[in-house]
Structure formats: structure tokens, C-alpha cells
């Protein structure tokens, strides 16, 4: 079981990194998910190994917090299948995995790391320790910066200074354009629908009119992707589904 402390709720913002929490015990899964959301992460959860496989393929998380002991597949098998099936996002070499387990034997730790885990935490653990481990893994994997800055190729968004630069060139954006770009960068490599964008950026203030999304995507493209001086195209249309902001090749 995780233990709580005063420091867990006071950790710095996580830059909206997207986590998948996998644990078959409902109380632990819900506590972890709620605590991580409160610490600034976006979280989805799964209760079994099969659900975890499906969630990685569909949700494309930035990091997986994975319990070793699951009712169908153990965590080692889940990671091995994901590696073998090449279900990791194309924008990264692999999605980092942090194993959770009640086992503290050296053999289990070696097996977990050999299977492809990036770190290993044994139960009981403190939420402060878990969050610190997650942040450290994300930093090593090139995840969102501690101050909330997002970086995709030569594009940088600083939410504290409300500044955007591409190839060290300042890009002037309206507040709505800035919020839209932030949402796309926070979901780098993932396709988001017009409805999802409308929900997160406008909260349906426009009565569900999806055409407003198309207009603002067009505005962003003109400022970020148009002309030879802007570098590789970053904002892509996935016909019939939505849009994705993707890292340029070899960035």
C-alpha cells in the first residue's frame, strides 16, 4: 500500500505528462490515480495486463506505472509483449515503465529491469518517493520540464512566461492559439479529435461548433509550419479522426 505525507500534494507541476496506472487492487489504483492527478499529471488506469496492452496502444501514455502481480498477465509479460509487438509510440524509442511490486528480492528486481523497466518500487512505498521516481524517469526520457515547459523538436512552449519559440524565433500567439498549441504539445504523437480539442480548449463555449477548431488549427499552421524558414511540418491532419502534433524526424 502507498503511504501519504505532506510533501506529496505539494510537488511541482508535472507539465501534464500522461500516465497509465495499472494495478488490480481498486483501492490502490484509485488512490494512485487521484494522487498523481493532484500532483499535475494526467492519468488513465487499467486493472489487468490485457487492459494495459490495449491502453498503451490506444492512449499512448508518456509513462506506465505497472504492478507486477496482475490477475491475468504479470507485469514482466506485459512489458515483453509490448516490446515484441512494437506497440510503443513512434515518437520515442520506448515508453518508460516503473514497476510496482510487493516482492523485494534481488532476483525479481533483476528480472523487472531485464524485461525493460526503467525503475522498480516495492510496496509499501510513499507517494513522495513514487512521484520523485516518475519525475526522474520523465526527465531522463525527455518528458515535460519541471517548470512546465514543453519541447517538440525546435518548438518550445513556456506556460509561465506565456512564450512560444521555434528555432529560437519568437512566435506571437493569441491566448486561444496558445492554449490550443499547449494541448497539442501535451499530447505529442497522439491523434486528438476535434471534439476533444473543443472540450479541452474551449469547454464547448462555441456550442459544439467543430469548425472553430479547423480555423484555429489553420492559424497555428500559418504561424508555425508555413514557409521554408519554419522547419519541418509539425501539425498533421489525420483524415476522419483529428489532428496530431508530431516530432520531426530524428529530433
Residue 94 is predicted with a pLDDT of 62
108 and 192 inside one domain: no
Establish if 173 belongs to a structural domain.
yes
154 and 211 inside one domain: yes
Establish if 54 belongs to a structural domain.
yes
CA–CA separation, 251 and 246 (whole Å): 10
Residue 199 and residue 242 in contact, taking contact as beta carbons nearer than 8 Å: no
pTM: 0.52
Establish if 157 belongs to a structural domain.
yes
**Structural domain of residue 63, as residue ranges?**
2-140
Please list, in sequence order, all residues whose beta carbon lies within 8 angstroms of the beta carbon of residue 115, skipping any fewer than 6 positions away. 75, 76, 79, 80
Residue 132 is predicted with a pLDDT of 84
Give the best-scoring range by mean pLDDT among 1-5, 11-15, 99-103, 237-241: 237-241
Establish if 251 belongs to a structural domain.
no
- Average of per-residue pLDDT across 29-44: 91
204 and 159 inside one domain: yes
Give the best-scoring range by mean pLDDT among 19-33, 132-146, 200-214: 19-33
43 and 122 inside one domain: yes
- Average of per-residue pLDDT across 200-214: 70
133 and 165 inside one domain: no
State the chain's mean pLDDT as an integer: 79
For residue 16, the domain's CATH number is: 3.40.50.2300
Residue 140 is predicted with a pLDDT of 63
CA–CA separation, 143 and 89 (whole Å): 14
Q: What is the number of structural domains in the chain?
A: 2
pLDDT digits (tens, 9 = 90+) for 88-114: 443 333 678 888 877 665 566 666 666
25 and 78 inside one domain: yes
Strands 169-170 and 97-101: unpaired
| Residue 56 reports pLDDT greater than 60 | yes
181 and 124 inside one domain: no
Domain end point (choices 76, 106, 140): 140
Establish if 41 belongs to a structural domain.
yes
Residue 210 and residue 164 in contact, taking contact as beta carbons nearer than 8 Å: no
Residue 32 is predicted with a pLDDT of 92
CA angle 129, 133, 136 (to 5 degrees): 140
Domain end point (choices 140, 159, 179): 140
CA–CA separation, 171 and 152 (whole Å): 15
156 and 200 inside one domain: yes
Establish if 159 belongs to a structural domain.
yes
Establish if 250 belongs to a structural domain.
no
Please list, in sequence order, all residues whose beta carbon lies within 8 angstroms of the beta carbon of residue 157, skipping any fewer than 6 positions away. 149, 150, 151, 163, 164, 178, 181, 182, 185
179: left (phi > 0), else alpha (psi -120 to 50), else beta? alpha
Strands 169-170 and 192-193: unpaired
Dihedral of CA atoms 246, 77, 54, 1 in degrees, nearest 10, equals -100
Domain end point (choices 140, 161, 193): 140
179 and 136 inside one domain: no
Residue 106 is predicted with a pLDDT of 57
128 and 211 inside one domain: no
Establish if 145 belongs to a structural domain.
no
For residue 217, the domain's CATH number is: 1.10.10.10
124 and 241 inside one domain: no
Residue 179 and residue 201 in contact, taking contact as beta carbons nearer than 8 Å: yes
22 and 122 inside one domain: yes
Amino acid at each position: 500500500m502507498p503511504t501519504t505525507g505532506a510533501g506529496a500534494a505539494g510537488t511541482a507541476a508535472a507539465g501534464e505528462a500522461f500516465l497509465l496506472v495499472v494495478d488490480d487492487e481498486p483501492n490502490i489504483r484509485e488512490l494512485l490515480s487521484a494522487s498523481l492527478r493532484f500532483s499535475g499529471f494526467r492519468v488513465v488506469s487499467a486493472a489487468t495486463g490485457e487492459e494495459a496492452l490495449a491502453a498503451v496502444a490506444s492512449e499512448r501514455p508518456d509513462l506506465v506505472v505497472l504492478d507486477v502481480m496482475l490477475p491475468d498477465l504479470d507485469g514482466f509479460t506485459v512489458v515483453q509483449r509490448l516490446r515484441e509487438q512494437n506497440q510503443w509510440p513512434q515518437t520515442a524509442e520506448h515508453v518508460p515503465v516503473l514497476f510496482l511490486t510487493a516482492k523485494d528480492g534481488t532476483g525479481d528486481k533483476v528480472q523487472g529491469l531485464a524485461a525493460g523497466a526503467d525503475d522498480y518500487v516495492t510496496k509499501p512505498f510513499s507517494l513522495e518517493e513514487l512521484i520523485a521516481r516518475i519525475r526522474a524517469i520523465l526527465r531522463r526520457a525527455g518528458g515535460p520540464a519541471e517548470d512546465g515547459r514543453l519541447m517538440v523538436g525546435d518548438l518550445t512552449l513556456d506556460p509561465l512566461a506565456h512564450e512560444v519559440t521555434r528555432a529560437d524565433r519568437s512566435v506571437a500567439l493569441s491566448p486561444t492559439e496558445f492554449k490550443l498549441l499547449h494541448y497539442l504539445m501535451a499530447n505529442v504523437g497522439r491523434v486528438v479529435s476535434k471534439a476533444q480539442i473543443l472540450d479541452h480548449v474551449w469547454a464547448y463555449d462555441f456550442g459544439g461548433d467543430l469548425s472553430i477548431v479547423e480555423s484555429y488549427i489553420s492559424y497555428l499552421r500559418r504561424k508555425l509550419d508555413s514557409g521554408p524558414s519554419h522547419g519541418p511540418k509539425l501539425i498533421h491532419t489525420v483524415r476522419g479522426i483529428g489532428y496530431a502534433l508530431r516530432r520531426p524526424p530524428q529530433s
